[in-house]
Structure 1
Amino acid sequence: MRAYTLLLPLLMLVVGNTALAQDGSLRERLRERMQNRQADKQATETRSPTSALPAGTHTLSLQHAGAQRTYIVHIPRSLPANQAAPLLVALHGGGGNMRFQADDENYGLITKSEQAGFIAVFPNGYSRMPGGGLATWNAGNCCAQARDKGSDDVGFIRALLADVQQRVAVDPQRIYATGMSNGGMMAHRLACEATDLFAAIASVAGTDNTRSCKPSRPIPVLIIHARNDDHVLYEGGAGDKAFKDKSQVTDFTSVPETARRWMQRNQCSASAPAEITLQVQGARCERHVAACANSAVVEVCTTETGGHSWPGAGKVRRGKEGASQALSANDRMWDFFQSVGRKE
């Protein structure tokens, strides 16, 4: 018995070392545990699927495709109690995260949510970082790890909307999507693959780079893009100065081609002239309305300056140039969503 007692610690050590050899080093396991704890700290509030959300901003998480995915939701204080509200999904740019997109100093969408009375949802893209940083979206041909790993981001957005609708009253006929850059590209993919959920989309500085697109119905699309964008070039391609590693992106579709594709999908008449809906110094909006099926209009707003940015944004700067102030992307897109109405 004494010999067994002496051998037991040795046997446990051998077994333990074998397990570590199979599962990785203890240091790696401890690092993973620390990363998981840090990720948990990013969630300032996690509620069960049946809990109601009060007014304010909340960070939530859910399990999808074997991974924990997170999102921020803002419930406007101006929203009347028990009234089903419109909802806007706002997708961050490539290399960003939900917190950056939700920061009111960057994009002002929280303020717009309060003014217009819509629920604002900021999902976090695919990320290998513990805090969800440097995230990207699988928008088809772009971008980076989300694309290369085949991240099911359409499925994640579907699960997210189902999760939100268990927590707060949402008008299912007035759910919209927008996004910046890679997030705008993801909005195009949602219009292609989740038309059963979204009434309309608005893409800022992001063109259609889907690999296939067969929407179940025509869907209104707003495209906002700067003519001098040096990341996602207006006439197509990726800017040389913006992307050092072109393998992380793609040869971006041009703005005119993106508009042409949506006009074709929405069965708009290509021969009819576009209607000018905004003409100010530094910006012009044209809406294709003629013979579009189900009134699924396609509108393109072009700013002359601002580069790769969110028009009307104050703090965010990419390169030397600030965002164009010729129009407000927030105001323009919400007016567009209101004008195209509800999902048919």
Structure 2
Amino acid sequence: MFSCAIAFLPPSAGAEDGPFRQRLKERRLQRQQNAPEADADIAGRITQPGDYRFQLEHDGLARMYRVHVPEKYDPAAPAPLLVALHGGGGSMDYQADDSRYGLISKSEREGFVVLFPNGFSKLRSGKLATWNAGNCCGGARDEHIDDVGFIRTAVDRLTRQMTIDRNRIYATGMSNGGMMAYRLACELPDVFKAIASVAGTDNTRSCNPTHPVAVLHIHAKNDNHVLFAGGAGPGVPSESKVTDFTSVADTVAKWVKLDGCSAAPRRILDKDGAYCEVYAPCRGQAEVQLCVTESGGHSWPGGQKSRGDEPPSQAISANDVMWDFFKRH
């Protein structure tokens, strides 16, 4: 699953539609003129555990997402919500594949609900999708897709369909999805209490959160897509789809400053193959935490990858580390 980003594109056309997006709007308008108006009301309430698929229209585009509700869900007790964002070139179904990421199993053990949005894709299946995370990535960036608005709408819709604790809404993502999580922290601090990015640095074009958001960053030293020291590595399939990635150090320093954290980190984990450091205290009881694996390349620590040149590091579990982090916020 590739990581997405590109050389910086000026935002001069930021409010304009890209050509593909404009064609989609024109086709959609033509279909609407020849068909009965679809019911735009919110879907019925979710009261039972299971897996659900939804579609909504946002900014003239049909957007998809799926939801996993664990067996522990009780409509009488507000549940935490995790928004899980796939990597560039992936899809919501890929990120929800428990054999690769294990997020469904973690949801069942901990009792949180998972919302898997689908990025922007030119395919009806939703595959090969990307996120507009600022300077990255691919079609979503090039077409100026409003992914922030889509995710906000999906989260708001879900909080009206079921009992979600609005003070415990978190986001995570792999690669381009992790970059998108940073954009959510920048632009939706009223929605997300904390984020965790795996193998995706902060490549936002602007970031002025109105209050602190706790940030966890997980990265392999030998990532060959999003290079630890910055830049796009040889694993990126097309440089035109990516950007000159921000380094891990610069990403962490940015959020230490934004959250008003202590300048010096404290080592909280040191073991063969991995370490974690935390910057705290920060404003608003936030934290900034960095976890680094020695190996694993561009992957999800503790997960499984059926393709690629290097298996994920097993020194830590991204799912365990991030949920321990989220539970503190």
Query: Which of 303, 306, 320 in structure 2 is aligned with 1:331?
Result: 320
Tell me how far apart the structure 1 counterparts of residues 151 and 91 of structure 2 sit (CA, whole Å): 15
**% of aligned pairs identical?**
55
Q: Report the equivalent of 2:287.
A: 297
Give the whole-Å Cα distance in 2 for the aligned partners of 1:102 and 1:311.
16
- Give a deviation string over 1:146-185, Cα, whole Å, max 9, x none: 0000000000001101111121110000000000000000
Q: Which residue of 2 aligns with 1:165?
A: 159
C-alpha RMSD of matched pairs (Å): 1.9
**Secondary structure of 2:93's aligned partner:** helix
The match for 2:191 is 197
Q: Would you say how many aligned residue pairs link Structure 1 and Structure 2?
A: 295
Give the conservation status (yes or no) of the 8 Å contact 1:50–1:166: no
Q: Give CA deviations for 1:12-64 in whole Å, capped at 9, x if unaligned.
A: xxxxxxxxxxxxxxxxxxxx99xx9xxxxxxxxx9961511221001111110
Greater helix share, structure number: 1
Q: Partner of 1:243 in structure 2?
A: 236
Aligned to 2:267: 276
Contact 2:75 2:162 in 1 (8 A): no
Confirm or deny that 1:107 pairs with 2:101: yes
Could you list the runs of 5+ residues in structure 1 that have no partner in the other structure?
1-31, 37-45
The Cα of 1:295 is off from its aligned counterpart by 2.0
Q: How does 1:206-225 map to 2 (within 5 A)?
A: 206-225=200-219
Aligned equivalent of 2:19: none
| Change over 3 Å in CA distance of 1:318–1:48 after alignment to 2 | same
The answer to whether the aligner puts 1:264 opposite 2:253 as a matched pair is no
In structure 2, runs of 5+ residues without a counterpart are 1-26, 32-38
Report whether the alignment pairs 1:322 with 2:311. Answer: yes
TM-score where L is the length of structure 1 = 0.83
Read off the aligned partner of 2:202 and give its amino acid letter.
Answer: D
Alpha-carbon shift at residue 317 of structure 1 (Å): 4.6
Whole-angstrom distance in 2 between the partners of 1:243 and 1:69: 26
Superposition TM-score, scaled by structure 2 size: 0.86
What whole-Å deviation, never above 9, does each CA across 1:93-115 have from its counterpart, x for those lacking one? Answer: 00000000001111010110111
Structure label with greater radius of gyration:
1
Which of structure 1's runs of 4+ aligned residues deviate more than 3 A?
Answer: none
1:183 aligns with 177
Counterpart contact for 1:309–1:318, Cα < 8 Å: no
Higher RCO by CA contacts (8 Å cutoff, separation 6 or greater): 2
Q: Name the amino acid aligned to 1:328.
A: S
Q: Which residue of 2 aligns with 1:69?
A: 63
Aligned to 2:22: none
SS in 1 for 2:275: strand
Residue 278 (structure 1) shift: 1.2
